[in-house]
């Protein structure tokens, strides 16, 4: 429990206590002197009544009642409470393939746009998770740190194209190295990766990437984009289609989804393979996979609602004023 003063400026009201005490003492002395001048000691009781023992405590009761009233106004016993809660929470990095083959249009409008839509749909179903974005091709780079601000992630995704990474190809190992670096401060049970790719392993680093993921405690859910039949790879210059990629013999290159590669990565890292060609089903399956492997982490959350105890001080003040009212036989300040 953390304690703090409530309405600090009202503490100045405490200055009224010594002032009131002085006034009460002066008033009692003045009253006694006035009565002595009016009548002799023999006639004091006849004219002014018998002084009760209770009347001697009235000044103290008034001061205490006022003290508790000021304390209730200041809310001097207010505080806030730290509550420990356990909740299932993942740290999820979407590992997005941005190699040129992701421009293939065997999935409408193309593989890359389908992947970005899957990420957005998946985030819309998330609750407590933190999300980051890493893009990769022949090299990898982080474009978004782990955050709960999904709206800004969606904004960044809108600008992701295949030319965002200069070195082309598909290097799973470099992608996993970048992810492992981002996860260094995250508990191993909460390290989740959703890899969206067509699975083409140009660098043949699949096994090395799997080994790194396993040693780093990273679970990888893979999402396969494209078809087994494949499609040609469009080549763009300043956004204009200039043709399709060809090999050294001048033949059009057909890019196909390598489902077995993606399934193997998921199986070896305790993840799930998801067919990314169906937008709605893919998002639901990704969430199911993440929930099955969610870790329960403990976090300390400071209550937004302060705890107040002014009512106890106010109750004491009212009780004291009530006692004064009931037991002061003259209902005035004649002590």
pLDDT band at 62 (very low <50, low <70, confident <90, very high): confident
Question: Distance between CA 235 and CA 23 in Å, rounded?
Answer: 94
Phi, psi of 252 (to 5 degrees): -65, 130
pLDDT band at 321 (very low <50, low <70, confident <90, very high): confident
Range with the poorest average pLDDT among 43-57, 69-83, 89-103, 114-128: 43-57
- pLDDT higher at 158 or 310: 158
**What average pLDDT does this structure show over 137-161?**
92
**What average pLDDT does this structure show over 258-285?**
94
pTM for the complete prediction? Answer: 0.64
**What average pLDDT does this structure show over 105-131?**
93
Question: Distance between CA 70 and CA 113 in Å, rounded?
Answer: 65
Q: What is the pLDDT of residue 335?
A: 44
Alpha-carbon dihedral sign for residues 197, 164, 132, 114: negative
Q: Which residues have CB under 8 Å from 131's CB, separation 6+?
A: 92, 93, 94, 123, 144, 146, 147, 148, 150, 153
Element (H, E) at 95: strand 91-97
**What average pLDDT does this structure show over 13-28?**
72
**What average pLDDT does this structure show over 3-15?**
60
Question: Distance between CA 207 and CA 189 in Å, rounded?
Answer: 22
**What average pLDDT does this structure show over 116-133?**
92
273, pLDDT greater than 90: yes
Element (H, E) at 298: strand 296-302
| Beta-sheet pairing, 273-275 with 234-237 | unpaired
């Amino acid at each position: 429990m953390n304690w703090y003063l409530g309405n600090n400026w009202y503490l100045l009201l405490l200055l009224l206590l010594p002032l009131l005490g002085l006034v009460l003492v002066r008033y009692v002395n003045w009253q006694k002197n006035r009565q002595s001048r009016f009548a002799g000691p023999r006639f004091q009781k006849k004219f002014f009544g018998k002084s009760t023992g209770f009347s001697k405590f009235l000044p103290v009761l008034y001061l205490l009642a006022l003290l508790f009233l000021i304390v209730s106004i200041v809310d001097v016993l207010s505080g806030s409470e730290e509550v420990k809660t356990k909740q299932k929470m993942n740290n999820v990095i979407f590992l997005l393939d941005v190699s040129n083959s992701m421009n293939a249009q065997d999935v409408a409008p193309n593989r890359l746009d389908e992947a970005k839509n899957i990420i957005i749909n998946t985030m819309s179903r998330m609750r407590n998770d933190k999300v980051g974005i890493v893009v990769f091709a022949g090299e990898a780079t982080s474009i978004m740190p782990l955050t709960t601000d999904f709206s800004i992630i969606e904004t960044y995704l809108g600008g992701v194209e295949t030319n965002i990474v200069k070195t082309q190809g598909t290097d799973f190992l470099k992608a996993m190295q970048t992810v492992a670096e981002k996860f260094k401060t995250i508990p191993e049970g909460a390290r989740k990766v959703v890899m969206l790719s067509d699975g083409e392993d140009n660098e043949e680093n699949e096994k090395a990437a799997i080994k790194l993921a396993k040693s780093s405690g990273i679970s990888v859910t893979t999402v396969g984009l494209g078809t087994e039949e494949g499609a040609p790879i469009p080549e763009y210059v300043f956004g204009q289609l200039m043709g399709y990629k060809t090999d050294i013999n001048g033949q059009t290159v057909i890019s196909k989804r390598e489902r077995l590669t993606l399934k193997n990565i998921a199986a070896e890292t305790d993840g799930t393979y998801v067919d990314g060609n169906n937008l709605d089903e893919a998002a639901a399956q990704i969430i199911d996979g993440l929930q099955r492997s969610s870790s329960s982490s403990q976090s300390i959350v400071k209550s937004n609602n302060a705890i107040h105890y002014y009512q106890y001080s106010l109750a004491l003040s009212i009780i004291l004023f009530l006692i004064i009212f009931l037991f002061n036989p003259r209902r005035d300040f004649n002590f």
